[in-house]
Structure 1
C-alpha cells in the first residue's frame, strides 16, 4: 500500500507503465469537448485525486471551513490519511498534466507553503485583548463573550429592578410622609381652630356674664319669695281668652312687689278681672303689669327705680288664691312670655 505517492513525470509525450505483468504505453492526453463526455466520471475522479494530493489546495479548503465556522482549530482536527492500492496509485495521471490544474499548482508552488502550527488555523472572532490573555480557541472566546454579555444583561436587569424597587419604596415613603404631614397639619389646624372657638366661646360667655351682671344690677325679680303656679300660654277655662297671658307668682299675702327696672307708673287702680293693677312703663317702652294686688303704693306719673315697692301681693279680681299675675307687653301692646323676658335680663325664674 502507498499513501499519496506522487505520480512520476513523463519525460516524453509517451510513457510506459507496468500494470501487473502487462506493460502499457501512455500518450499525452489533450481533452476536447467531445472526448470529455464519455469519460467524464473518470477524469473527475482523477481531477479530485489530483487536488487531494495538493497540500496547498487542502490547506486552503481547511482554512475556508474554519473561517466559516469560527470554531475549529488545528489541535481539534487530526491529520487525514488517504490510502490507495499501489497498483491504482501508480496508474494515476500526474495532477500537473490535467488541463488547468498544472498552471494552478505552479502558481501555488510559487506561494509560501502553509505550515501547520499549534495555534488555531483561524483567529476570527478573537479580540486583541483575548489574544493577549492567551485565548486561542475562537469558539471558547465566543462562548465566554456570550456568557459575559448574558451576565452583564442580567446584572443590568437586576440593577434596573433594584432601582425601580428603590424608586417605588422612596415614592411610597414620600407619599406616606406627605400623608402623615398632612394629617399632622390637619390636626394642628383643627386644634388651633378648636382653641380659637373655645376662646371665642369663653369670651362670649364672659361678655354675656358681664352683661347679665350689669342687668342684674339694674333689674330685679318682682317678688323674692314665690312659687310659679301658671306659665305663659297655658290653656284653661279659668281665663277669658282661653289661654294664660302672663306668669303667676304665688306667695304670702301682703308680700312686697318691686319694680323690676326703673321707669314711670302709667296706671294704678282697679282693672276688673285683674283686680288692683299697676302698670310700669320702662324707658324702652316695655310695659310691666302687676295684677291682683291687695294694695297699691305708687301713683300715676311717679318715677320709680329698680327695687322700689309698688304694691302688695293679694287675691283681688278673678283669682283662686293669693298670687301676683305678671304680664310683659311690648310698646305696641303685644303680650310676650314674662319668663323669657326676665331670663334675658339675667333674672332666672
Structure 2
C-alpha cells in the first residue's frame, strides 16, 4: 500500500525495483541490517550528509523504533551507493571531489552498484583479482631480475677487481724479477770489473817488479864468473867456528876476478884470520858485502862502480880449495846472500 504523504522539499526517497509494484514497506530486523563490505558516501554539495544510505538507514531505524510510522510516511531521500570498482577494491571510484580527500563518486557507477546491492548480486571479481595477481607477479619478476642483475653486476665488478689485482701482482712480480735480474747483472759486472782491475793491478805490479829488477840488474852485478856454488848459507859443520856456514861459496880457479856487486865504497881491505885476505864493500843503503879468501886485492879504498874488479879469487885463510866466500850483512847480522842477490834481479 503506497503512502500519499508528500516528501519534504529537497528530500527524495529512491525506490527499489522489484518483481511487483511498490507496496507498503515496514522496516524489519533483516531490512535494516547494514550492507556488508566497504563503501564510501559522497558528500553533497548542498550541505547534506555525504552518504544518503547512512541517512536512510537512520530514518528507517527511527521509524522501526517508534512503531508509529512506515517508510511511506517519511520524506523521500536520495540513497547514494558505492560504485562497482569501490566494491571490488574496497575504496572509492577514484573520481576527485572536494571534501573527501579530493574524491567523489560517479552517479552512474553508484546507480549500477546500488542496483547490484538491492538485487543482492555482486559482480565477479575474478578478472580484477587476476589482473592484480599478474601485476604482483610481474613486480616480483622485476624485483628478481633486478636482484639478479645486481648480483651479476657485483660478480662482474668482483671479477674485474680480481683481474686488476692479478694484473697488478703480475706487474709487480715482473718489476721485482727485472730488479733482481738488474741487481744480478750489476753484481756480475762489478765482480768482473773487480777481477779485471785485480788482474790489471797484478800485471802492473809484475811489470813494475820486472822493471825494478831490470833496473837493479843494471845496478847490480854477480860477484864473479865461471863458478860453482858449493856451500850455502846456514849449512852446518865443524869447518866453521860458529857451527854453520855464514855465507855463499863460489868455487872458481885462483885468479878469477872478484867484482863489486853494486856501487859503494871500500871500508876495509886486508888480512882477516880465518877469512884470509878480505875486502868489505859498503853499499849506499848501508849493506856490507864481504869478499873473503882472496888471492890478491885490486882496490883497498874509495868508491867503486857495479861490476868493477876489486880483487881475485884465492885460497887464503881457513879453506880447502880456491873459492870466493861472499857474506852479506845488514845491521851487523848475516843474511842469505843467494836470496839477497836474487832480490836484486840477478840470476845466480
Q: How does 1:34-45 map to 2 (within 5 A)?
A: none
Q: 1:161 to 1:320 in 2, by over 3 A?
A: farther
Q: 1:267 to 1:175 in 2, by over 3 A?
A: same
Superposition CA RMSD, Å: 3.6
Superposition TM-score, scaled by structure 1 size: 0.62
Residue 309 (structure 1) aligned with residue 297 (structure 2): no
Size of the alignment, in residue pairs?
255
Q: What's 1:13 paired with?
A: 27
Q: 1:28 to 1:237 in 2, by over 3 A?
A: same
Q: How does 1:21-170 map to 2 (within 5 A)?
A: 50-51=36-37, 108=86, 111-112=92-93, 116=128, 119-121=131-133, 137-170=138-171
SS at match of 2:202: helix
Structure 1: which 5+ runs fail to align? 1-7, 16-25, 31-46, 58-95, 125-135
C-alpha distance in 2 between matches for 1:173 and 1:144: 42
C-alpha distance in 2 between matches for 1:283 and 1:28: 157
C-alpha distance in 2 between matches for 1:297 and 1:307: 15
Q: What's 1:78 paired with?
A: none
C-alpha distance in 2 between matches for 1:269 and 1:309: 16
C-alpha distance in 2 between matches for 1:27 and 1:328: 160
Q: 1:170 to 1:28 in 2, by over 3 A?
A: closer
Structure 2: which 5+ runs fail to align? 1-18, 41-56, 62-78, 94-108, 110-124
| TM-aligned CA deviation for residue 327 of structure 1 | 0.7
C-alpha distance in 2 between matches for 1:259 and 1:334: 20
Q: What's 1:128 paired with?
A: none
| TM-aligned CA deviation for residue 178 of structure 1 | 0.8
C-alpha distance in 2 between matches for 1:11 and 1:229: 174
Superposition TM-score, scaled by structure 2 size: 0.62
C-alpha distance in 2 between matches for 1:313 and 1:324: 6
Is 144-153 or 195-204 further displaced after alignment? 195-204
**Does the 8 Å contact 2:279/2:297 carry over to 1?**
no
**Does the 8 Å contact 1:220/1:260 carry over to 2?**
yes
